[in-house]
Structure formats: C-alpha cells, structure tokens
Amino acid sequence: MARFGRVLTAMVTPFTTSGALDLKEASRLARWLIENGNDGLVIAGTTGESPTLTHDEQIALIEVVVDSTEAPVVAGTGSNDTKAAIELTQRATEVGAAGILSVTPYYNRPSQRGLVAHFTRVAEATDLPVMLYDIPVRSGRKIETETILELADNQQNIVALKDAAGDPGETASLLAEAPDGFEVYSGDDSLNLALLSLGAVGVVGVATHWTGSEHQDLIEALESGDLSNAHRINASLQDSFNYESTLEAPNPVPTKVMMNLLGFNVGVGRPPMDIVPSGLEEIARNVVSQTRIGKTMQIS
C-alpha cells in the first residue's frame, strides 16, 4: 500500500458567497471525498487556491480537514520564500498533517543548487514525510532528476514526488534510480495511466473529485494485469480529464462548478480565478453523467 494511499484528491477550497473561507463545507466535502473512492487528501495545494489563502487560512483549513477524517491529509505548504515554506510546514505539522507537499519555488526560478537548499531546509523543519511537487508549467523551473535523486538519497524524510512534469520517459529514469521506498504519484490526470504503468504508486488528482472510484478500479486493473480493462477505464475518464482545466476555465474553476453541481457550496474562486465561462455548468453536467457518481446521484 502506498504511503498516503493510492488515490488522493487535491481538494478545492470552499468559500462563502462573500469570499470567506468556509471551514464547515470543507469538512463536509473532505468526508464525502473519502467516502467516494479517495484514500487521502491534499489540502491547500494549487487546486485549493493556496496563492490566495493567507497562512492562517491555510492552517485553519488543514486543521479542520485533519479533524474531519482519519484519512491521510497531505498539507500544501509550498512557497517561493523558503522562510515562509518552513513556517507553514512547521505549523501544518503541529495541527496533525500526515505529510507535506512542497512545490517548486515559483516565479523566482532558483537554480538546482537553490532547489536542493530550499527543499532540504523545508524537510529539516518537520519529522513528517515530504512529497516534492514538480510542476514546471506553473513554477517555471523543473526539478531535474539528478536533483530529486540527491534529495531522496540525502534527506531521510523526502520520500515521494508528485509528478506533473509531463515527461513519462524522465519519470521512468527517475524510478529506475530512486532509492527503495521512494514513491512517485501522478500529478497530471491525463498521464495517470502512463505513470502508473511505469511504477507510480498512485495519483494526486483533480478529476478524482468525482471519479475516485473509477481511479481505484483503474489501479486494481493494472495491478491484476488486466490491461484491457485499464485501457477501457482510462478511455472512459477522458472527458473528465479534458474538462478539468482549459485556457478559458483553468483549474480549479471547472472543479468548483462541478462540486457546486453535485450539491456542495464551494463558491467560486478568489480573484483572479473567479471568472466562470458561460455554459460550463452544462458541460459539467454532461461530463459527470457518464461517471459512477453522476449515475448514482441521477445527474443528467
């Protein structure tokens, strides 16, 4: 069993109509996700709109989800300011997170030596397992494979990677050289099947908000060697993957529309992620109607 479980959702953050953090709804959504195919949750990551949350809001959100479920809660504590990332990591540890998700420092684009120093300092600030988050399309800087291996070899609690770099060949190289016990999670839903086939232990997903059970089935099929069924399940998820983020409606805008459709009051994103294209709810309705959740809830 993977350290944090096989299927984790990077959960959206609910806001009230006035834009305030809605901790009660966050608790309700977290419990529902665990009841519907998720083994664990990533809280206050990019999908959770961490760029627009204050540090106090991030910690309050992490704490309420930790208190709401016995499932592993991986806390997003990344920052492009090492001091801020250390502070958030320490505070998330204190409120009971099961692990830390630390994203590549964004915009200021440090060197690879700078990345080693940053992630080492973050890891040294906690005794929790740390998952690096490599997403160059958002951060502007790739964590090179050699850097990941150096961190995994030299820092005992850097034990996992959320891989959203979009290069399965490089992921294969990493897995071939990684130390025993180092785990890779797919961080790009469109590449879940590819990365799982290469040896990723699970997914940190967005479409898993409404397809957690299908992802459990996908992993079961792969582990049992039923590639035909795995391909069939993956094909059935393509509309969900295509829906979750577009240029007109970037993540997490579509997921918030979807969860509101499913009966959760998550509101819209905080500016500048508050623009919802017309017709998006109808697309969401069509997408979810093809899934187990949509059929169970009779959404059509």
Are the beta carbons of 28 and 264 closer than 8 angstroms? yes
Closest CA relative to residue 15, chosen from 240, 280, 247, 273: 273
At residue 71, the 3 state secondary structure works out as coil
Question: Is there a catalytic annotation at residue 162?
Answer: yes
Q: For the chain, how many residues are written?
A: 300
Residue with tokens 């120093």: 117
Question: Is there a catalytic annotation at residue 185?
Answer: no
| Separation between Cα atoms, residue 288 and residue 74, nearest integer Å | 26
The two tokens of residue 244 are 């979750």
Catalytic residue among 83, 106, 142, 162: 162
Catalytic residue among 133, 142, 185, 243: 133
Closest CA relative to residue 61, chosen from 83, 84, 79, 88: 88
The Cα angle at residue 151 between residues 56 and 50, in degrees rounded to 5: 20
Residue with tokens 């050699």: 146
DSSP state letters, 194-250: HHHHHT--EEEESTHHHHHHHHHHHHHHHHTT-HHHHHHHHHHTHHHHHHS--SSS-
How buried is 83 (Cβ within 10 angstroms: 0-12 exposed, 13-18 middle, 19+ buried)? exposed
Residues recognised as catalytic: 133, 162
